[in-house]
Structure 1
């Protein structure tokens, strides 16, 4: 029974769902190339605090896919595809970081939406999710990239700035983009449109 239920759950993803997830993941991989350059410029201007301001943009593609599709496993697939595409395109942070970051993001996103039983897609929930995805990856990134050399004070400020970036540039922006695209009619075959229309 459990095996049949699991298969049925994955069967709920349509071809359009998969295409959308792949498109968002690919778009993110391209955007990340340019974000890396912005990140380097910000680092030169304001160090780790300045670079922390754009953290939310790295995560938005998976959350946006979840907001539009609203099916369990969306983050798993979208962030997974994103990690693979980024690794093929090359990453300034290394291939391992692509998969580690994706794993951290998808675990939190899946857990949050499961906790809300995939029924609450309000602005507070989206903003909470965007902020909640930050700390786990920040912990691992600190070990991988030597953030611990910054000192406790800088680490705490950087973490707070990254959480705010996740809340605004991932959570809030996801909600705004998702609703705007839905109203345009482009997403009429997805769950988000049915919710906005009602």
Structure 2
């Protein structure tokens, strides 16, 4: 983080805190979906829990932004009352690593919609692998587990990737991100 500016650290932290609250707010939604559809209910909306990694990386375009934002969001979520406790921080780190891997694959130079969707899907893959061992998915039928995996990866790509892009682009249009990488790109594109 030696090449990070102070204001970038502040934005990363602020986003993480905001989305920690959002994450906590979506737990009851997930529980309702689990009540309706079984364990796959959470997977249908799991992308919401990856979104800060996409938004932070897309706005800041710095190595580590995806990983750090998810990790900080998980820490804050634990502090404000998630019942999972400290193991949630490990989950956040694993989710952040999944997103970070997609950005790293492009050497943190490509933030196209496809890379953002791949980052969301990457979070889905890493979080599912972790969840498979921690949550006892092995006790479920193979077909059901495959459906859960597909739902989580698609949710990561669509909710985290596409919605994260849309929210970030919306912020860029307001001008509040003018001094950040996304805001500068937005101004360049609209100046020509």
Segments of structure 2 that go 5 or more residues without pairing to the other structure are: none
- Which of 148, 151, 165 is residue 138 of structure 2 equivalent to? 148
**Is 1:83 the counterpart of 2:70 in the alignment?**
no
Q: TM-score, normalised by structure 2?
A: 0.91
**Is 1:46 the counterpart of 2:37 in the alignment?**
yes
- Which of 133, 150, 160 is residue 160 of structure 1 equivalent to? 150
Q: Distance in 2 between matches of 1:50 and 1:110?
A: 26
**Is 1:110 the counterpart of 2:100 in the alignment?**
yes
CA offsets 1:128-178 (integer angstroms, 9 cap, x no match): 111121112112112212222222111000110111100100001111111
Q: Distance in 2 between matches of 1:14 and 1:124?
A: 27
The answer to whether the 8 Å contact 1:133/1:166 transfers is yes
Which residue of the partner structure matches residue 101 of structure 1? 91
Query: Secondary structure of 2:26's match?
Result: helix
- Which of 9, 28, 39 is residue 37 of structure 1 equivalent to? 28
Q: TM-score, normalised by structure 1?
A: 0.89
Query: Secondary structure of 1:90's match?
Result: coil
- Which of 47, 58, 65 is residue 56 of structure 2 equivalent to? 65
Q: Distance in 1 between matches of 2:11 and 2:98?
A: 21
Segments of structure 1 that go 5 or more residues without pairing to the other structure are: 1-9
Q: How many aligned positions are there?
A: 188
- Which of 124, 127, 133 is residue 137 of structure 1 equivalent to? 127
Which residue of the partner structure matches residue 4 of structure 1? none
The structural deviation recorded for 1:49 is 2.2
The answer to whether the 8 Å contact 1:65/1:78 transfers is yes
Q: Distance in 2 between matches of 1:184 and 1:50?
A: 35
165-174 or 44-53, which deviates more: 44-53
